[in-house]
Structure 1
Amino acid sequence: MRYAILLLCSTLFLLMSCNNRKQPKTIDTETKIIALENHSQKLLTETELNAKDLNQLRLLRNEVYARKGYVFDSTELNTYFNAQPWYSPRKNDPIFLTEMEKQYVHLIKQIEKAKRTETIIYKASQSPYTRFRDTIAINYKDNKKLLDVLQLFPKSNMGSWDWSQKDRTTMVDYIKTHNYIVDTTAQFLNIKYVKPNTMGLSVVDGFWTLSLYTLDADNTLVITNDSVGDGNDYTVYLLKNAVLQLIDATSIFGDYFNVLLQNNSEACQNLLEENKITFDYDFSAPQSITIASWAFHQDEDSDCFKGNTIVLQLNKKEGRFLVSDTYWKEND
């Protein structure tokens, strides 16, 4: 009898010991799962992102920050993310993005930019070319100077994509005759807008712009910008007597980034250098350029920076751009 009782007690002790050994493993696994849900985000492919609308893209872009506890100025965004079970706001904690996250946010910004860009499409049934859903109206007379300049660029200016001078001339000749084009290559080259001083094209995985800045009757500054995932690649020319002359961009813009620095410490300079890829360039205004970063925020970075946006104003007399303003722009 005593032996039976001892055997029963030993068995119970072993069972309890096994349960105690297994329990921490289960809790640890659950903790890891919860942590993963709180701090990770599935990064969508470019194809998947292109299928999203502007509202969805905005939420996906801001989710990168929300996963790190960022508290938004936008009531709409705060309401949305506060409803997410994984959101844990940390108002005073600095937010740092990995290189992959920076590239992901930049990609979403580029897709948003392309989707917002003005596309002029004629849909009226009486129009002789409305059967083409991608017909783009471009008045040659109004945009003659811009379209003429488009034909002057060497192939090397087109960056990683191929748009020969012959093809550009053929397109301009068609516009000259018809005042519209039928753009059937949306997956490769899609004209988003054409205005007297600027045009923008969605190209493969990026966005290419051509902008004109008139100095006087004989001289015009011509700027192209090839904006892709790894940043902006802009080139500056002087147009004189229908000839493009390549010029040094620094002589036209100066060291504009440094005007943002509130603090010239090495740490602040390094932070600026590391985030130059996050600046977007708007060359659409006829007399100015706006350069803004989506990575810097006033409540986080004001110790280092005066703002996240720079405005460069054209000085026709000097033939270059001068800093006219710096300020904080809200990034949602």
Structure 2
Amino acid sequence: MKTHYFVLLSFLILLASCNSAETAQQGEKSDSVHNTIDSAAVASDTLQRTKARAKYSEVIKIDYQKNREILGILPLLPDSALATWEWKKEEREEMLRSLAANNQFTDTIQTYTAINKLTPNYIEINVVDGNWTASLYKLAENHYIVITNDMVGDGNDINAFEVKGQQIQAISVDNLIGAKPGNLLLKNNSEKCKSVISEEEMGMFTYDLSDPSIISVSCYYVNKKENSDCFYGNEVFLKFNKDLKRFDFVKTGWRNFL
């Protein structure tokens, strides 16, 4: 009988030991799972902070001496000439200092601006919703007419300035290039023909201001096949007259937009 009690007692002790070991293993597994989740959370948090710290930076090389006249105008322009996007005067001045010293500057805004075209008289910059341009027309040494065009959405925001030395003054765009370019294209003054284009919708016209002496203004909505009875053409050319500080009519023509 004593032997049976001893065997039974030994069995119960062994069973209790197994249960205790299994519970401990489960606890360790549970702790291990929790530790894995915590580690993942820390890793994710670290990754987010790393991404936040990482900033876009690209060195843009430009021949400053070759383009110094158009570049030198940029810091003088009032903020109203860049109304739809923020390019602060201080940023323009800093860019110019860097270019003058090193023929390069560091661009830190990857998706906001990009210089599409640069010549000694013209700069075109890609902005959030369109393009912005500045054009230089020389009157004399350190004396210019400057035209800016902020092209966003469906319109053109055109501004004109006279710059002499470091002094800049706004001038009338209408006196410079004309208020209604469509009038120069119109051959028939009937209401039917006039209704084809709307002078209030400046987005109907495309202004090419890249040439140092010629401006072209074209209308995509007018074509020779359908509108030749109403219009002389769908594009008008104007030439800079530096003596009168204005652009004079040269000719009209038909442009193929396809």
Same fold by TM-score, threshold 0.5 exceeded? yes
Deviation at 1:135, TM superposition (A): 4.0
Q: Distance in 1 between matches of 2:257 and 2:70?
A: 32
RMSD, aligned α-carbons: 1.8
- Report what 1:257 is aligned to: 182
- Report what 1:157 is aligned to: 81
Q: Which structure has the bigger radius of gyration?
A: 2
Deviation at 1:218, TM superposition (A): 5.1
Calculate the TM-score normalised by the size of structure 2: 0.73
Q: Distance in 2 between matches of 1:134 and 1:281?
A: 31
The reply to whether residue 329 of structure 1 matches residue 255 of structure 2 is: yes
Tell me, what secondary structure is at the counterpart of 1:202?
A: strand
The reply to whether residue 307 of structure 1 matches residue 243 of structure 2 is: no
Tell me, what secondary structure is at the counterpart of 1:300?
A: helix
- Report what 1:283 is aligned to: 209
Unaligned runs of 5+ in 1: 1-131
- Report what 2:102 is aligned to: 178
Deviation at 1:157, TM superposition (A): 1.7
Q: Partner letter of residue 268 of structure 1?
A: C
- Report what 1:318 is aligned to: 244
Q: Distance in 2 between matches of 1:271 and 1:135?
A: 47
Matched pairs, number: 201
Select the residue among 38, 50, 62 that pairs with 1:138: 62
Select the residue among 173, 192, 195 that pairs with 1:267: 192
Tell me, what secondary structure is at the counterpart of 1:262?
A: coil
CA contact (8 A) 1:297 1:328 kept: yes
Please give the per-residue CA displacement for 1:117-176, whole angstroms capped at 9, x wherever unaligned: xxxxxxxxxxxxxxx995432111111121111001122221121111001111111111
The reply to whether residue 193 of structure 1 matches residue 114 of structure 2 is: no
Q: Partner letter of residue 196 of structure 2?
A: L
- Report what 1:224 is aligned to: 148
Deviation at 1:257, TM superposition (A): 2.4
CA contact (8 A) 2:233 2:252 kept: yes
Deviation at 1:264, TM superposition (A): 0.6
Tell me, what secondary structure is at the counterpart of 1:303?
A: coil
CA contact (8 A) 1:183 1:191 kept: no
Calculate the TM-score normalised by the size of structure 1: 0.57
Q: Distance in 2 between matches of 1:186 and 1:197?
A: 25
Q: Partner letter of residue 261 of structure 1?
A: L
Q: Distance in 2 between matches of 1:269 and 1:157?
A: 31
Tell me, what secondary structure is at the counterpart of 2:174?
A: helix
Q: Distance in 2 between matches of 1:291 and 1:182?
A: 35
Q: How does 1:50-65 map to 2 (within 5 A)?
A: none
Tell me, what secondary structure is at the counterpart of 2:193?
A: helix
Unaligned runs of 5+ in 2: 1-55
The reply to whether residue 210 of structure 1 matches residue 114 of structure 2 is: no
Q: Partner letter of residue 75 of structure 2?
A: Q
- Report what 2:159 is aligned to: 235
- Report what 1:295 is aligned to: 221
